[in-house]
Amino acid sequence: MKPVAAGAELKDGVWVNEDVAMLAAASGVKAPAELANPYLFREAIAPHLAADHKGVAIEIPRIAAALDALAGLADLVVVEGVGGFRVPLGPHRDTADLAVRLGLPVILVVGMRLGCLNHALLTAEAITVRGLKLAGWVANRIDPDMGAYDENLATLAARLPAPMLAELPSLPVPDPRRAARLIPPQKLSAILKYISNSE
């Protein structure tokens, strides 16, 4: 599930967001679009701005209801965020409020580049302050030339209050299927088991 997606292209008369399409392709359940992605905006801008431009409000209860419906269709539902843990969804709410309402364990994806230590540690703190469980984190090497990469990874492993679930290398072209193949099957099984036990 991707509750909110901003940025879509018209394909065969239908507005399509690349992330939503990739999630649908990876899913073992064919879910109705209005459940898997309740809010889709054409503009690739911050969600609250895209919603404002379209004249709609992003309603957290609507997203929660969609998740409840999806949970009845699948054994496991993974909910992908949009832009980060504190991205505004409206004048008085953000994705942290959504995470609290959904009450799911959180997996933090750390974009491995200069500045990631501060960003990751602040985000982990914000997750904990909200009373949510940080189930684990993923190192996503988006800068292949990042200096002191191994030392940064070790720093995060020592300071983040959750296990590293996966380490993804930099890929010349983003390809989730190739990235998934880089995670050993036993590690992927352990990740899914860990997530399920963290709920």
Q: What is the phi-psi region of residue 5: left when phi exceeds 0, alpha when psi lies from -120 to 50, beta otherwise? A: beta
116: number of Cβ within 10 Å: 21
The active-site residue, picked from 2, 30, 54, 187, is: 2
Q: Does the annotation count 11 as an active-site position?
A: no
* Whole-number Å distance between alpha carbons of 85 and 75: 25
Contacts of 140 (CB under 8 A, 6+ apart): 109, 110, 111, 112, 168
* Whole-number Å distance between alpha carbons of 57 and 86: 17
Q: Are 137 and 160 in contact (CB under 8 A)?
A: yes
Q: Are 10 and 164 in contact (CB under 8 A)?
A: no
- The count of C-alpha atoms lying within 13 angstroms of the C-alpha of 185, restricted to the half-sphere facing its C-beta, is 0
- Two tokens, residue 154: 């070790």
Angle CA 23–50–13, to nearest 5: 55
**Active-site residue set:** 2
